Amino acid sequence: MSGYLALFVGLMLFVGVSVATSAKFDQLFQPSWALDHFIHEGDLLKLKLDNYSGAGFGSKSKYMFGKVTIQLKLVEGDSAGTVTAFYMSSDGPTHNEFDFEFLGNTSGEPYSVQTNVYVNGVGNREQRFNLWFDPTKDFHSYSIFWNQRQVVFLVDETPVRVHTNMEHKGIPFPKDQAMGVYSSIWNADDWATQGGRVKTDWSHGPFIATYKTFEINACECPVSVAAVDNAKKCSSSEDKKYWWDDPNLSVLSLHQSHQLMWVRANHIFYDYCTDNARFPVTPAECVHHRHV
């Protein structure tokens, strides 16, 4: 994805679409809640969770299509019960949403990540996988790429999940609602660690998630503009070409497909598509999808 990004960013800027790129936190984002749980240390931003509150922030603008990335170092040590989330979401009861949720653990266990996709207000599309590195020791990049053909979740540019447009099969796809970009840390010990069996140990707090880099290469959508007009503005035509609509980005490259196969073979431990207890009838997208 990143190779194509370098090639087509010039086109994106040439046609004059409003695009936010790598920037300082306060240029792209603003605190959503618990401002007193934000810690600024030079170029680093830290969010704190204690037994009083977590904290969260959101983008100042909403976007449709493109790529958003954060560099994040997760909570060290015994983080059981905590969740650090990075996600995109639109507003309202029929919202669309793409989630990374980093689930805390007891010391020495691998960090697990839950991804989810909401379309028209309906989620229940969870997948969980273990990371192949210790995300508490250094910064790693987490990205969401989105166009009219697919949504791709990436960890250090390795695709870990793809949600493909299958509207031709009668399956809705999120392509008509602009989304904000959000991140937060909060207590979820009713479900986050071993199904809620392991509770948050506040004696190990405060729990700190640290952010270093924020990048948004996406089509900025004014709040005052109707959804249909935003979708039109952010889509390529004869007069304008956007990098996210390049045909090479309509599917994974061969290398990316191999990377995803490796992740699925070695690191995924829960997939809603194979949960027959929850879904006696296999969800429609799972029937047709090779890379759900």
Query: Which of these, 135, 97, 95, 96, lies nearest to 113 by C-alpha position?
Result: 135
| End-to-end Cα distance, the chain | 18
Q: Put the strands of the sheet holding 55-59 in their side by side order.
A: 29-33, 55-59, 180-187, 82-89, 97-103, 112-118, 127-130, 268-271
Distance CA 193, CA 113 (A): 11
Distance CA 67, CA 147 (A): 9
Integer Cα distance of 208 and 186 in angstroms: 11
Q: Which of 101, 215, 220, 285 is catalytic?
A: 101
Of 97, 215, 220, 285, the catalytic one is 97
A 10 A CB-CB count for 107 gives 11
Q: Count the Cβ atoms, other than its own, within 10 Å of residue 289.
A: 16
> Active-site residue 126, yes or no?
no
Note if 157 is an active site residue. no
Distance of CA 246 to the CA centre of its chain: 21
CB count within 10 Å of CB 58 equals 18
Which residues belong to the active site? 97, 101
